[in-house]
Amino acid sequence: MRMRGPEAIGITAHATGYVWARNGLSHPELSTREGRMLSDSMRPMMMLSSVLGGPTLESYLLARHRTIDALLERAIEQDGVTQVIEIACGLSPRGWRFAGRYGSKLTYIEADLPGMADRKQRALRRMGSLGEHHRVEVLDALLEEGPGSLAALAAKLDPDAGLAIVTEGLLGYLDREAVEGIWSRFARTLAGFRTGLYLADIQLSGDASAPVRAFRVMLSALVRSRVHLHFTDTRDVAGALKRAGFERAEVHHAPQVAAAGEHREDPAQTAASSERREDPAQAAASSERREDPAQAAASSERREDPSARLAHVLQAG
């Protein structure tokens, strides 16, 4: 299998698709044989990591997926988001789960490059999930405008309602210039809507754990190009988001947020707990404090104006 660039990146979507399915988050139509083979090939590294007492890559993937779910759920239920564009959706089951849950109250658009978009559309059709409020579109996140760009897709949505943009597992494959370019386009697009929210995950160079570092090396070999660590710390990433045009940027430590959520058995409450932080330095420090459920619940009372363009970014373990 000799692939490069976006096509090679697409294959990694099969591995994560298989992880979501194996953990009861997905549907068999979104779990592929390629995904199982890839996932099995990563198993020795996962086992080594858990034998050494570290978090496994799978636990990080699940933490990031569930935390994005929780933040999105809160935005829909409390902050007026009624439209979602999940860019580079791959074989993620989130669109299927959210479309099933919210029905006509939510318009969920899954978007990816042509090959993956076609595959996803066929799978969702077999699952009976597609309709007016759940669809798949071809979109290249790197396009500034024109057919297949975010600008063209967003122009078809309702500006008087809230929009959330999600990217999961995409940023690491793009260089810093490309990431800053897509963030500027996202911020500009979100500014045209009543409420704007961007949710994503990122790996920071400053504190990547051993399994995350090892995974990066494996992924770089698999996709035959570099997997990037663009930002050193939370201050660095929040600064770049603000320069791109986001009014607020909050960085969460995904495994910690997910672990705290398991304590509380209410992930939406966990997600809300970090809403009041504005200063990225404070954001980094406050992840230490997020152990206390009472404090977390109280903090959700003090949330900022939800109409601000907000980016939440989940940091790898």
Q: What residues line the site for ligand SAM (CB under 6 A)?
A: 6, 9-10, 12-13, 16-17, 87-90, 92, 112-113, 116, 139-142, 168-170
Residue closest to ligand SAM when measured from CB atoms: 90
Least distance (Å) between residue 297 CB and ligand SAM = 29
Q: Which is nearer to ligand SAM, 88 or 310 (CB)?
A: 88
Q: Are the C-beta atoms of 178 and 136 separated by less than 8 Å?
A: no
Least distance (Å) between residue 12 CB and ligand SAM = 4
Q: Which is nearer to ligand SAM, 19 or 238 (CB)?
A: 19
Residue written as tokens 């858990």?
A: 50
Least distance (Å) between residue 262 CB and ligand SAM = 21
Q: Which is nearer to ligand SAM, 138 or 297 (CB)?
A: 138
Distance from C-alpha of 209 to C-alpha of 151, rounded to nearest angstrom: 36
Bin 80: left if φ > 0, else alpha if -120 < ψ < 50, else beta: left
Least distance (Å) between residue 202 CB and ligand SAM = 13
Q: Which is nearer to ligand SAM, 228 or 290 (CB)?
A: 228
Q: Which is nearer to ligand SAM, 10 or 317 (CB)?
A: 10
Least distance (Å) between residue 302 CB and ligand SAM = 31
Cα 11 to chain centroid, rounded: 17
Q: Which is nearer to ligand SAM, 87 or 165 (CB)?
A: 87
Least distance (Å) between residue 145 CB and ligand SAM = 14
Distance from C-alpha of 157 to C-alpha of 136, rounded to nearest angstrom: 14
